């Protein structure tokens, strides 16, 4: 085995939406930054065909900007994103070219001077006193010991924080039920106009699959036909019939497809993998295998029963299973469901979240989809560990409760908190203080200069 050691100002582990924003923002402040990821590319769930949801709130007002919007604008400039479009169901949608994301991520890291290390995962975190001294990365018989002043866990699963002995929660209820993940795929040769014509003639296909789903009027064929930037969640009557006949290939009540950037292309988000713990490699293996097998049956079902999909085929399957939820780390602060529903925006907020409380259940209850009347604030303390003072988190593993994660897990919000984490980490290194000692008022002021939206009132 080869062994290496290296030292940085800031080490960011996890190169998904939050990690990208964290590392690039910190490096733009002149810091020596490492960004490490398990894959051979950067972008995480941005690269599997998912749309970016949550730029706009329930009323169509923009609540997230800054780094997240910059990333979309740069994709849009090269024809690899449709931009931000209001949506009656998701508040807003932004469909992107999954492969173009990988290229732009590398470009922006190189521009900022981020040191990127791929094909590695954290296997150990050495703690002295309360401080994380080193994180050990491993890949391909290479063992790399990373020393840094500050570490930022952007793994989504809180892997580094867990290795460092930090407290966390998982799931909901006594059984700690976590949202089921999905294996996504890209399909080609879809005639989406045939699908939309069918829906126009059969509007009942767009009815919500359960009473827990809130959708405003206007989520219909006319909306989809007006602009290719859409996410289609429907065919509930067809799916109900297939389930009654015992031929539905997945445990869910509708189909979800995301319109691609190329003619006839769609991303499929319809598999449902029950009882899969994204922190358990045995569960992940089972989920990946089952997801691939579900996709085969699912696309056969599309061809046979869904108008416009008669000649579709799978062109690629996402390289990683799409995990919705695992660990939520303990932070200095925590956002509760009550605070989210109230639209509370504490003075320490470093970003807003206006996306719906969107919880996928692991059983026949289906989905909870509850609109928020106004965005709520994510306090800075949600990103800072009280147990390891030089450790921060950004992404879906931050300190929120078991329902708030249904809103903060979406990618624009993760990028917004990543921007805040990167800027706060850079400030801490410059001032030789710990993250919990950063002046949040100055941090917020600096975030505003970078285009972040921290208050809907100030924005107006």
Region 238-262: mean pLDDT is 92
Distance of CA 301 to the CA centre of its chain: 28
Q: Look at the block and give the residue holding tokens 């730029």.
A: 55
Please report the pLDDT score of residue 208 as a whole number.
Answer: 80
Three-state SS at 362: coil
Tens digits of residue pLDDT in 38-77: 999 999 999 999 999 999 999 999 999 999 999 999 999 9
Nearest to 207 by CA among 89, 110, 317: 89
Tens digits of residue pLDDT in 376-410: 999 999 999 999 999 999 999 999 999 999 999 99
Residue 459's pLDDT band (boundaries 50, 70, 90)? low
Please report the pLDDT score of residue 368 as a whole number.
Answer: 81
Residue 238's pLDDT band (boundaries 50, 70, 90)? very high
Q: Are 354 and 408 in contact (CB under 8 A)?
A: no
Statement: residue 107 has pLDDT above 60 = yes
Statement: residue 323 has pLDDT above 80 = yes
Mean pLDDT estimate for the chain: 95
Residue 212's pLDDT band (boundaries 50, 70, 90)? low
Judged by average pLDDT, the poorest of 99-108, 144-153, 360-369 is 360-369
Beta strands in 185-244 (DSSP E): 185-188, 231-234
Secondary structure letter of residue 380 according to DSSP: G
Burial class (CB in 10 A: 0-12, 13-18, 19+), 228: middle
Proportion of the chain above pLDDT 70, given as a percent: 98
Residue 360's pLDDT band (boundaries 50, 70, 90)? confident
Please report the pLDDT score of residue 16 as a whole number.
Answer: 97
Three-state SS at 35: strand
Task: Spell out the residues 6+ positions from residue 104 whose beta carbon is closer than 8 angstroms to its own.
Answer: 71, 74, 75, 78, 80
Please report the pLDDT score of residue 365 as a whole number.
Answer: 60
Statement: residue 217 has pLDDT above 70 = yes
Q: Are 179 and 332 in contact (CB under 8 A)?
A: no
**Rounded Cα–Cα distance for residues 155 and 143 (Å):** 19
**Rounded Cα–Cα distance for residues 407 and 416 (Å):** 13
Statement: residue 460 has pLDDT above 60 = no
Please report the pLDDT score of residue 215 as a whole number.
Answer: 76
DSSP track, 142-164 = EEEEEEEEEEEE-SSS-HHHHHT
Q: Are 355 and 386 in contact (CB under 8 A)?
A: no
- 204 or 215, which is more confident: 204
Give me 379's structure tokens: 């306090």
Residue 210's pLDDT band (boundaries 50, 70, 90)? low
Structural domains in the chain, sorted by start: 2-85+95-174+325-459 (3.50.50.60), 185-317 (no CATH)
Q: Are 103 and 238 in contact (CB under 8 A)?
A: no
Beta strands in 22-88 (DSSP E): 33-36, 52-53, 85-87
**Rounded Cα–Cα distance for residues 258 and 50 (Å):** 7
Give me 51's structure tokens: 């749309």
Statement: residue 128 has pLDDT above 60 = yes
Please report the pLDDT score of residue 40 as a whole number.
Answer: 97
Q: Are 117 and 357 in contact (CB under 8 A)?
A: no
Statement: residue 362 has pLDDT above 80 = no
Proportion of the chain above pLDDT 90, given as a percent: 90
Statement: residue 369 has pLDDT above 90 = no
Please report the pLDDT score of residue 211 as a whole number.
Answer: 63
Statement: residue 318 has pLDDT above 90 = yes
pTM of this prediction? 0.96
Tens digits of residue pLDDT in 166-180: 999 999 888 888 999
């Amino acid at each position: 085995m080869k062994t290496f050691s290296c030292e940085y100002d800031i080490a960011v582990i996890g190169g998904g939406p939050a990690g990208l924003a964290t590392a690039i923002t910190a490096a733009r402040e002149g810091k020596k930054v490492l960004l490490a990821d398990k894959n051979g590319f950067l972008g995480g769930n941005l690269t599997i065909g998912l749309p970016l949801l949550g730029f706009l709130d329930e009323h169509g007002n923009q609540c997230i900007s800054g780094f997240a919007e910059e990333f979309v604008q740069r994709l849009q400039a090269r024809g690899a994103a449709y931009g931000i479009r209001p949506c009656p169901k998701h508040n807003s949608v932004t469909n992107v070219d999954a492969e173009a994301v990988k290229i732009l991520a590398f470009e922006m890291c190189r521009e900022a001077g981020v040191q990127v290390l791929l094909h590695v995962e954290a296997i150990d975190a050495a703690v002295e006193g309360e401080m994380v001294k080193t994180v050990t990365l491993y890949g391909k018989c290479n063992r790399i010991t990373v020393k840094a002043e500050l570490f930022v866990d952007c793994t989504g699963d809180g892997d580094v924080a867990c290795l460092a002995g930090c407290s966390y929660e998982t799931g909901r209820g006594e059984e700690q039920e976590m949202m089921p993940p999905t294996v996504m795929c890209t399909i080609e040769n879809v005639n989406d106009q045939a699908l939309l014509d069918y829906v126009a003639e059969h509007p009942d296909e767009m009815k919500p699959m359960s009473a827990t789903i809130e959708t405003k009027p206007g989520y219909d064929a006319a909306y989809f036909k007006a602009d290719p930037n859409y996410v289609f969640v429907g065919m509930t009557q067809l799916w109900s019939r297939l389930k009654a006949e015992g031929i539905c290939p997945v445990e869910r009540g509708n189909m979800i497809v995301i319109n691609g950037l190329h003619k006839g292309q769609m991303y499929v988000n319809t598999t449902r993998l029950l009882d899969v713990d994204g922190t358990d490699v045995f569960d992940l293996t089972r989920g990946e295998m089952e997801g691939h097998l579900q996709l085969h049956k699912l696309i056969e079902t599309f061809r046979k029963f869904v108008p416009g999909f008669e000649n579709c085929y799978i062109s690629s399957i996402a390289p990683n299973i799409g995990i919705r939820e695992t660990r939520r780390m303990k932070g200095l602060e925590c956002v509760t469901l009550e605070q989210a529903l109230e639209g509370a925006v504490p003075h320490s907020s470093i970003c807003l979240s206006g996306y719906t409380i969107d919880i996928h259940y692991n059983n026949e209850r289906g989905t909870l989809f509850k609109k928020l009347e106004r965005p709520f604030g994510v306090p800075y303390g949600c990103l800072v560990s009280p147990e390891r003072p030089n450790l921060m988190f950004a992404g879906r593993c931050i300190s929120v409760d078991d329902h708030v994660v249904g809103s903060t897990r979406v990618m624009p919000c993760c990028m917004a908190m990543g921007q805040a984490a990167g800027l706060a980490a850079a400030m801490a290194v410059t001032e030789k203080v710990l993250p919990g000692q950063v002046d949040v008022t100055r941090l917020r002021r600096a975030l505003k200069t970078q285009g972040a939206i921290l208050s809907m009132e100030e924005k107006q």
